[in-house]
Structure 1
Amino acid sequence: MAIIRVEGIAKSYGTHQVHKDLTLSIERGECFTLLGPSGCGKTVLLRLIAGFETPDAGRISIDDTVVADPAAGIYIPPDRRGLGVVFQDYAVWPHLTVFDNVGYPLKIAKRPKNELKERVMESLEMVGMSGLERRLPSELSGGQQQRVALARALVANSSLMLLDEPLTNLDANLREEMRFEIKELQRRLNITVLYVTHDQEIALAISDRLAIMDDEGRIRQTGNPWQIFERPSDPFVFNFMGIANFVPVRRAGEAYLVGRGEQLIPWEPPKGDAAEWVAGFRPSDVQIAPQGIGLRGTVKRASFLGAMMDYLIEVDGAHLRTSIETHEAISKGLMFKEGETCVISFRDLLWFNAQSLTEVVKQ
């Protein structure tokens, strides 16, 4: 059952159209992530749902209540939408203690002091901040300040939390730690989380479902992490979700040839009538060998990355990357040098019409 419905939303700032006829549904109890490049309108959409911005057209419903509909003259302010919000910059007040920061929403709501204290201490315990309630933000680490922001969003017992790039300002180790804590909180409290990020790794780790947005504010694909990563709907999604190899394939009569050369493709041909195709695959989908059945290529770059060997290989004018664990490369005789020939085959690949690759190449 959907807890958030966004129907036909449009939003512009002057002549800049951020969203046009955008529709989205978020189910109760799931962690849903808006993922896309910087400037694509993710935060604008979150702010529209939160009530910090008003749409130019369309309708937004939360828990079956219409909270924004300009055509009907409906606008419910943020404090009456029953949600918690965590921002990228924490937004904790430097002059207030941890306790007072977390309790601020309840103070504004004029809750009784005993209830306020009980709920603040419960929220601090949820995020692992018990015993630090009298400290000032200046006495906390970045991760602890982010936990204060989470506790403040949780203190009102909201069933819906909106998180806008909450881990961006943390170092790599803290980001990894906090993303698992956020997911664990969501599961334990059975709340709905709308998470905004441009970080693919975080999105894949915490999401039940995610929506991929492009530079024009459109949703290109919605699905679970496996669907998005393994079965992307188009080259944009495939390219955005990690290192992507694209090898051109052209049709010559009944044959399919790779790049500018005359090598036949060593896999099942694409289904369709297009004359030009693109094979898409990840570096991990490539198998490399000194000889055997497959496409012949030349190692253009061999990079030792510690645990991994990374290779750039040219096949008839097309370039692709592959990687292999260093210990495996040593034990199996796969330590290639630049200029050496090799044979490559594929564990998995996707077919895209060559025309659909144009917008990816432009980026």
Structure 2
Amino acid sequence: MDIIRMEGITKGYPDHPVLNDLTLSIKKGECFTLLGPSGCGKTVLLRLIAGFESPETGKIFIDDIPVNDMEEGIDVPPENRGLGVVFQDYAVWPHMTVFENIAYPLKIANVPKDEIQQRVMEMVDIVGMKGLDKRYPSELSGGQQQRVALARALVGKPSLMLLDEPLSNLDANLREEMRFEIKELQRKLGVTVLYVTHDQEIGLAISDRVAIMDENGVIQQIGTPWEIFEQPANPFVFNFMGIANFIDVRRDGTNFFVGTGTQPMPWDEKPEGEAVDWVAAFRPSDVTISREDKGLHGIVRRANFLGAMMDYLIEIDGAFLRTSLETHHAIARDLILKAGDTINVQFLSLHWFEKETLKGVRNE
């Protein structure tokens, strides 16, 4: 069953359009992530669902109840939508203790004091803040403040949680810790989560499904994290989901040659279609290199030692690709290379795209 359904949503501002005829549904109980570059309209979409802004056209349903229907004049205010919202900047009140911050929504709702005490302390325990309920935000770390914001959003037992880049102000270690805590909270409480971010790792780690939005606010693909990463619908999705290699491949009869050279592509599954110019797309992890005379012959153009990893830029007949391998494996296999060394390249996996579809993805 869908908890959110958006139909034909249009939203723009005087200087630029943001969303145009967008349709999207989110299932009850899932963790759904809107993933896309900054400025693509992810936060605008979340604010429309929350009721902080109204669409110009279209309908929004929460639990099959219309909260926006511009033709019918329906626009339910945020406080009546039964949602929990957590923002990027925490938005915890500095003059209130942890307990008071979490209790605030219940006080506004005129919940009895005894029930407030019980529900707040339960939530304090759930988010790992036991014993800190009397502290003020200035006495908490960034991660602890974010837990307070989560607890405050959850204490009202919302059917839906909206999270707008809630981890972007935390350091890398805290971000990793908190993303798993959010997923665990979602599972434990059974709440539906709509998470907005531009961070691919977070989107892949916590989501049941992911929607990829492009810079024009158009949803390019919806799927599980595995489907998005392993079966990208187009070059934009492939490029957005991590470090991407694109090398030009041209058709000559039944053969496919790399770059401007005469080396045939060593891959059994050639692209289907009549185009002459193709692009082979792959991740650095899809590349294997060796000194054996197998695969494509290339030249190392850049070699970087990154501690645990070696990172190489390799040229093959005018086409460039990046690959990396663990330093101890490089040492064991005699693959500590330097610029100018020759090397042989093979591939574990390839995605094929017609070159014409790469326009706008790699400045074609």
TM-score (norm 2): 0.98
| Map 1:1-363 → 2, pairs under 5 A | 1-267=1-267, 268-362=269-363
Helix, strand or coil at the partner of 2:360: helix
Q: Which amino acid aligns with 2:106?
A: L
Report deviation, 1:136.
1.0
CA RMSD after TM alignment: 1.0
Greater mean deviation of Cα atoms: 329-338 or 102-111: 329-338
State how far apart, in whole Å, the 2-side matches of 1:96 and 1:333 are: 61
**Unmatched segments (≥5 aa) in structure 1:** none
Greater mean deviation of Cα atoms: 333-342 or 61-70: 333-342
State how far apart, in whole Å, the 2-side matches of 1:362 and 1:187 are: 42
Q: Which amino acid aligns with 2:192?
A: T
State how far apart, in whole Å, the 1-side matches of 2:350 and 2:265 are: 12
Report deviation, 1:155.
0.6
Report deviation, 1:292.
2.1
Q: Deviations over 1:114-159 (max 9, x none)?
A: 1111111111111011221111111111111001000000110112
**Unmatched segments (≥5 aa) in structure 2:** none
Q: Deviations over 1:296-343 (max 9, x none)?
A: 100011111111111100001010001111111111122222101111
Q: Which amino acid aligns with 2:345?
A: I
Q: Deviations over 1:279-305 (max 9, x none)?
A: 000000001011222111000111111
Report deviation, 1:263.
1.1
State how far apart, in whole Å, the 1-side matches of 2:148 and 2:265 are: 56
State how far apart, in whole Å, the 2-side matches of 1:106 and 1:326 are: 54
Report deviation, 1:256.
1.3
State how far apart, in whole Å, the 2-side matches of 1:139 and 1:264 are: 63
TM-score (norm 1): 0.98
Q: Which amino acid aligns with 2:124?
A: L
Report deviation, 1:15.
3.9
Number of aligned pairs?
363
State how far apart, in whole Å, the 1-side matches of 2:232 and 2:293 are: 31
Q: Deviations over 1:11-47 (max 9, x none)?
A: 0111411000111111111100000111111000000
Helix, strand or coil at the partner of 2:54: coil
Helix, strand or coil at the partner of 1:274: coil
Helix, strand or coil at the partner of 1:3: strand
State how far apart, in whole Å, the 2-side matches of 1:123 and 1:69 are: 35
Structure 1 stretches of 4+ moved >2 Å: none
State how far apart, in whole Å, the 2-side matches of 1:126 and 1:188 are: 9
Greater mean deviation of Cα atoms: 247-256 or 220-229: 247-256
State how far apart, in whole Å, the 2-side matches of 1:233 and 1:319 are: 23
State how far apart, in whole Å, the 1-side matches of 2:162 and 2:127 are: 16
Report deviation, 1:182.
0.3
Report deviation, 1:362.
2.9
Helix, strand or coil at the partner of 1:179: helix
Q: Which amino acid aligns with 2:8?
A: G
